[in-house]
Amino acid sequence: MPTVRIVSNIAEPQKRREIARRLTVVFGRSGVKISHLLFVWQHVELSDVYPGPFSLVDRSLSIEGNFASVTIEVSQKRSKEWRRELLQKTREIFADGLSDEYIFLGLVAVDPDNFLNATSENSRRQEVY
C-alpha cells in the first residue's frame, strides 16, 4: 500500500484536496491502484519546524508562506526509474505555489510484506492466542 505522509502548514481544505487529487492522478498514471493509496496529512506551524537549534520562524522573521515535508513509502519492487519519476512529479505538485527551499521530499522503498495496517496487525494477534 503506497503511503504518502505530508507534514505541512497548508490549512486550507480546498488546497489540501487539490494536492491529494493531483497526487492521486500521478499515482494512477504510474500504475498504482488508487484503492491502495493512503494519505496521512499532519498540520504543523512554522514555529513547530526545527531544522537545527532554532525553528524556521526564529531563524528569520521574514519567512512566511507554506512549506511541506513529504515522505512517500512505496514497494521496493518498483524500479529506480519509476521511483525517481514519482518523486519528480511530486516535487512539481508541491512546488506549484510553494517556495522550493521549503519542500522536503523523501521516498522510502519498503518490502511489500512490511506494509501492515491495523486490521492485519489485529488479525495476527488473534491468530497467536
Q: Which three cell numbers stand for residue 86?
A: 514519482
Helix (H, G, I), strand (E, B) or coil at 12: coil
Write down the pLDDT at residue 124. 46
Grid cell 498540520 — which residue?
43
Cα-trace Rg, the chain: 17
Write down the pLDDT at residue 95. 76
Grid cell 504543523 — which residue?
44
- Residue 4 pLDDT > 70: yes
- Residue 122 pLDDT > 80: no
CA-to-CA separations, 24 to 52, 56, 60, 62, 69, in angstroms, rounded: 33, 30, 34, 33, 18
What are the residue ranges spanned by the domains of the chain? 3-128
Q: What is the pLDDT of residues 39-96, one digit of tens each?
A: 999 998 877 766 666 665 666 655 666 778 888 888 888 888 998 899 889 888 877 6
Structure-model confidence comparison of residues 76 and 29, the more confident one: 29
Q: Extract the runs of DSSP E, i.e. beta strands, from the chain.
A: 3-8, 38-43, 68-75, 103-110
Q: How confident is the model at residue 98 (pLDDT cuts 50, 70, 90)?
A: low
Identify which of 104, 38, 36 has the alpha carbon closest to the alpha carbon of residue 66: 104
Write down the pLDDT at residue 69. 83
- Sequence-separated (6 or more) residues with CB below 8 Å from residue 19: 6, 10, 93, 94
Q: How confident is the model at residue 28 (pLDDT cuts 50, 70, 90)?
A: very high
Give me the CATH topology for the region 3-128: Macrophage Migration Inhibitory Factor (3.30.429)
Q: What is the pLDDT of residues 100-121, one digit of tens each?
A: 456 777 778 787 766 555 444 4
